[in-house]
Structure 1
């Protein structure tokens, strides 16, 4: 019995890590095929068109117009990301051994590099003389994108919809058109001009929005909450 030794903890950890990598590599092709490429491509193209409008105009570009066009492009990107968690086969894949948080995280990870590159191109399309601060606008775009993903995650967790994207996209558009301009008091404004004295304070609020969206997205990533109706029927 002296030749038998307890498995080394480091060996076990290496084996588990290798197994996790193998699962992720196996998941990449099917997850890639299920991405909403049409919605992302349409929204991405329209967003770049918005960002390029100042270059198509004659005369010096208007800085206020440029910042709002970039905000519009960021909103369009958020609309595209609202479809990211749509899964027409949701109710048939609910029993697969890989849990939903990993599948959702892979979808987000596959889209993130393209979204970052897309945003960099959108910023560069704006003429340099009228380009707003890249860091501040990137914070706004990130807050909008993560909010779209958080609401989509909540829809998947708390509803039975296989494709909540259209409803999430519509809600995002309605919220963007009403909350910042109608419902928020002026002292909490989010959409301010570059040279407005409240520019820094507004982006502190954008940071809060981003942090809240990240927390909501993390809380809603676990498996969907079971409906109370099946349990009620089972009791009867």
Structure 2
């Protein structure tokens, strides 16, 4: 295992969707810096909405993280898919953390919501994107599920505030007494999305056997 992981780093790094990640990251930074750039002083609700939009932008970029043009070539190799996916996440995670830190520092501090709570919301969006991508990879043969997952995530982000029941409010403001309870719910969503991601990580047994047989020259 110690030998396999270093051998995988370079090819995995080359296949990461840098164009989508860079575009989302740059757009997010521009959005976060916009109030300071124009001398605006947004209120707390406006800053919260801005940060939620930036978090969504980052998650849309990360929806492409599991896109792998070489997916059908790497499926038969001894290294399991969960390890390959975890490596993709591990390579991007430090950059994503630095990006989010920069976003929080760029928005006006006077109206910035609690950093831990808004970071939890951002983490939920990221894990939802990755769980959706992992599900698409597991259930289909699509090598690039990113566009469809990004579209689904965007649609969910638009509809969720409209369709969520009042008793399960998620999109509240920091001065709302429901803010702590809402973030307990965000944590539940995070856990559920992480479970889905974990369940959908491994290659289905039948498909794995078929691809190994195909790689060996046998019947698929």
What TM-score, normalized to structure 2?
A: 0.91
Match of 1:217 in 2: 197
Contact 2:132–2:149 (CA under 8 A) maintained in structure 1: yes
Contact 1:83–1:165 (CA under 8 A) maintained in structure 2: yes
Match of 1:48 in 2: 29
1:198 aligns with 2:178: yes
Match of 2:92 in 1: 111
Contact 1:157–1:225 (CA under 8 A) maintained in structure 2: no
Which of 167, 171, 174 does residue 148 from structure 2 map onto?
Answer: 167
Q: Which has the larger radius of gyration?
A: 1
Which of 150, 159, 184 does residue 164 from structure 2 map onto?
Answer: 184
Match of 2:60 in 1: 79
Aligned counterparts of 1:142 and 1:215: Cα–Cα separation in 2: 14
Query: Which stretch shifts more, 198-207 or 59-68?
Result: 59-68
Q: How far does the alpha carbon of each residue in 1:157-179 deviate from its partner, in whole angstroms, 9 at most, with x for none?
A: 01111110000000000000002
Query: Which stretch shifts more, 94-103 or 136-145?
Result: 94-103
Match of 2:73 in 1: 92
Unaligned 5+ segments in structure 2 are: 211-220
Displacement of 1:93: 1.9
Match of 1:207 in 2: 187
Contact 1:79–1:173 (CA under 8 A) maintained in structure 2: yes
Displacement of 1:59: 4.6
Displacement of 1:56: 2.5
Displacement of 1:31: 0.5
Q: How far does the alpha carbon of each residue in 1:75-120 deviate from its partner, in whole angstroms, 9 at most, with x for none?
A: 0111011100111121222211211111001001101111111000
Residue 87 of structure 1 aligns to a residue in which SS? coil
Contact 2:15–2:69 (CA under 8 A) maintained in structure 1: no
Displacement of 1:226: 4.5
Contact 1:158–1:225 (CA under 8 A) maintained in structure 2: no
Residue 66 of structure 2 aligns to a residue in which SS? coil
Residues 184, 193 of structure 1: alpha-carbon distance in 2 compared, 3 angstrom cutoff: same
What TM-score, normalized to structure 1?
A: 0.85
Alignment coverage as a number of residue pairs? 208
Which of 108, 116, 119 does residue 138 from structure 1 map onto?
Answer: 119
Query: Which stretch shifts more, 44-53 or 74-83?
Result: 44-53
Contact 1:89–1:162 (CA under 8 A) maintained in structure 2: yes
Q: How far does the alpha carbon of each residue in 1:131-180 deviate from its partner, in whole angstroms, 9 at most, with x for none?
A: 1100000000011101100110010001111110000000000000002x
